[in-house]
Structure formats: structure tokens, C-alpha cells
Amino acid sequence: MKHSLPNSECHAPEDRCQQRRRHRGHSSTRSRSCRRGGFTLLELLLVLAILVVLGGIVVVNVVGTGEAAKADATQSQLKMVQSFITQYKLRMNTLPETLEELKDGPSDASLKAKWVKPIIERVPTDAWGKEIIYSVNGNTYELRSGGIDGQMNNDDDIVVTG
């Protein structure tokens, strides 16, 4: 029965390659893993630096993506409210005076007779939880969200018209 003795050069058991070389009559040379016990400090610092850079890129993209996702969700919400307004107009032959009329029915007594059921259960808000502003001007209307900063009438507002 043949026993494998530890390699005296690196104090580790022989691997299969070393055993085969010895069996074939080749002299045993130290393998790369035997010559080198671990990673150098420079290699560890390089890997750490790469991980920090990648982590920074991910954080920047995730933070930006959150606000962009809310803006997209608000845009979709405004389009959905636009479709509710279209349903109201088809039923009542006029635009609602307020978004609450989509839920409660028209405030005009002559239109109340046509009212069958609510179009929405509650008046929706934007993705930041702020009120959607609805304004009517004749046969056109505007739905507006204050956007990221919540302030109206600036560059980050999200607007849908109909």
C-alpha cells in the first residue's frame, strides 16, 4: 500500500499532477500554488478598488432610476386619469368640472339623471403622493403633477392634455 507523503517544499499534500509526474519518473517541481501562498496586498487593494468603483456606479444608477421610475409611473397615472375623463365625457357629453366628479358624479343637477355609477373609487395622486391638478378650459383640459420637487409650473412638471 502506497502512502502519499506531504510535499516538503510547501507542506501540503501532493496533488494528482505531482503524483502522476512522480509515477512516470519525472522529477517533482514546485507548482505555482506551492511557490505562492496567497494574494499580495497590491492585488487585494486592486480588487477592492474595482469593487468600490462598481458599487458607486450601481448606487448612482439605482438612485437615478428610482426618481425616473416615479416620473414614468406618474405619466402612466395621468394617462389613466385621461382615459377616465374620456369615459366621463362619453357618458355625460361634457368634461367633468373636477376630478371628484369621476367618483361622485356631476355637480350639475341636470346631468345627475345620466349618472349611473362612479368611474373611479378614489381620486388618484401622483407617484410622490401629491394631488394631480386638473384644469378645464372649454373643451380642453390639463392634468399636471408637480414632479420630483412637488412644485407646480417648473421644468420637472409632468403634464397631459386632452
Judge whether residue 81 has pLDDT over 90. yes
12 forms beta bridges with: 7
State the average pLDDT over residues 45-72.
82
DSSP per-residue letters across 144-160: EE-TTTT-SSSTT-EEE
pLDDT grade for 2, boundaries at 50, 70 and 90: low
Contact criterion met (CB below 8 Å) for 71 and 147: yes
Judge whether residue 159 has pLDDT over 80. yes
Residues whose CB is less than 8 angstroms from the CB of residue 107 and which lie 6 or more positions away in sequence, other chains included = 97, 98, 101
Burial of 48 (0-12, 13-18, 19+ CB in 10 A): exposed
Judge whether residue 130 has pLDDT over 90. yes
Model pLDDT, residue 11: 54
Write down the architecture of domain 67-161 according to CATH. 2-Layer Sandwich (3.30)
State the average pLDDT over residues 102-124.
89
Judge whether residue 10 has pLDDT over 60. no
Burial 84-107 (b: 16+ CB within 10 A, else e): bbeebeebbeebbeebebbeebbe
Model pLDDT, residue 140: 94
Judge whether residue 29 has pLDDT over 80. no
State the average pLDDT over residues 15-43.
63
Model pLDDT, residue 109: 86
Is residue 143 classed as helix, strand or coil in its secondary structure?
strand
Judge whether residue 21 has pLDDT over 60. no
For the chain, domain boundaries: 67-161
